[in-house]
Amino acid sequence: MLVLGIESSCDETGVALVEAGEGGLPRLAAHALHSQIAMHQAYGGVVPELASRDHIRRVLPLAQAVLDEAGRGLADVDVVAYTRGPGLAGALLVGAGVACALAAALGKPVLGVHHLEGHLLSPFLSADPPEFPFVALLVSGGHTQLMRVDDVGRYDLLGETIDDAAGEAFDKSAKLMGLPYPGGPWLAKLAESGDPAAFKLPRPLLHSGDLDFSFAGLKTAVLTQARKLGGELEARKADLAASTQAAIVDVLLKKSLRAIEESGLKRLVVAGGVGANQALRTQLNAACAQRGVRVHYPELHLCTDNGAMIAMAGAMRLQAGVQEATERYAFDVKPRWPLASLGEPEPQFG
């Protein structure tokens, strides 16, 4: 079974082919990705209309490039999977429209995939894939969640952010420091030359007794500290970046360890863009090694949004029998779509 995956939820256009057999994990055959970062930098953030228009320009050439790389043709595709949500409505509609039109033209079934489930299952594309069950730390864009994962489609929400997510804390704090878009990677790079103990910044909800997150207060503290520094900000920017990163990583680390302890599981999966952060990986690896816990990550180039994770999630859902592809080509998208709601009955279209 050859699954073509299309991702267009925000500012990356991703297309991939995943091959699934009777047994074993699906295998990535080829993938291609176009990032819109350069286009959005002039505006300091993602402009939804521009993102949608760029997806329209990129998706078909990327699909052809993937097919060429894999040595396959459109006739070889068995299922077309696409990101149904969550994400920017206009951007999602591009991927959904192309996927459903392509599937209809080929007479092949189509499958809508949850963006966060794509991230959640992306470590199965790595050289060291996890095994079920495990605790998952999802840190992607506006989402920070801890989940117990017992199998494909069997997800139990343990805790989530009640305001800003970790990725937003990185990006917004970076913007307050005058760093370019997207701020998170710039802040992490700058933090390498700073002192993480230079400024005492809050760790919101660290001792709340639950597994929820809150990073809005940290962002406010960074703003206050930046204003206090005034003209000294430029000279102390690396220290402020390092202190900000340390606060975010500390919360993610402690909450993840608590989730592992409470669940009694010995595997942790970290997925999403923030999962590429080296400080987070280093501290999680060290703390989990002391506790006999295995940690699994996606490959670094698959931490951000990509078509491979969508094709993989679609293939794994089909293999597990938790969802069927359909030849009903009427579609909708779900800009807001809680991962925990997967599996709930939905209206039928087409």
C-alpha–C-alpha distance, residues 67 and 312, integer Å:
16
Angle between helices 183-191 and 278-290 (to 10 degrees): 70
Average pLDDT over residues 27-50: 96
Give yes or no on whether 2-121+303-341 and 128-297 have one common fold.
Answer: yes
**The tokens of 161 are what?**
């952010």
Strands (E), the chain: 2-7, 12-19, 27-35, 79-85, 110-114, 134-140, 143-151, 154-160, 267-271, 294-296
Please provide the CATH number assigned to the domain covering 128-297. 3.30.420.40
Determine the pLDDT at residue 347: 54
Angle between helices 233-263 and 183-191 (to 10 degrees): 100
Predicted confidence (pLDDT) at residue 43 exceeds the cutoff of 50? yes
Give 287's DSSP letter.
H
The ranges assigned to domains in the chain are: 2-121+303-341, 128-297
**The tokens of 167 are what?**
């990725």
Chain segment 223-266, per-residue pLDDT in tens: 999 999 999 999 999 999 999 999 999 999 999 999 999 999 99
Determine the pLDDT at residue 345: 65
Question: Over the chain, what is the mean pLDDT?
Answer: 95
271 band by pLDDT with thresholds 50, 70 and 90: very high
Predicted confidence (pLDDT) at residue 270 exceeds the cutoff of 90? yes
Name the nearest CA neighbour of 249 among 222, 226, 282. 282
Predicted confidence (pLDDT) at residue 350 exceeds the cutoff of 50? no
22 band by pLDDT with thresholds 50, 70 and 90: confident
Burial label, 232 (beta-carbon count in 10 A; 0-12, 13-18, 19+): exposed
Rounded alpha-carbon distances, angstroms, from residue 263 to 60, 253, 260: 44, 15, 5
> Topology of domain 2-121+303-341, per CATH?
Nucleotidyltransferase; domain 5 (3.30.420)
**The tokens of 203 are what?**
């760790």
Chain segment 62-118, per-residue pLDDT in tens: 999 999 999 999 999 999 999 999 999 999 999 999 999 999 999 999 999 999 999
349 band by pLDDT with thresholds 50, 70 and 90: very low
C-alpha–C-alpha distance, residues 202 and 254, integer Å:
14
Chain segment 317-343, per-residue pLDDT in tens: 999 999 999 999 999 999 999 998 887
Predicted confidence (pLDDT) at residue 267 exceeds the cutoff of 90? yes
| Contact between 103 and 78 (Cβ < 8 Å) | no
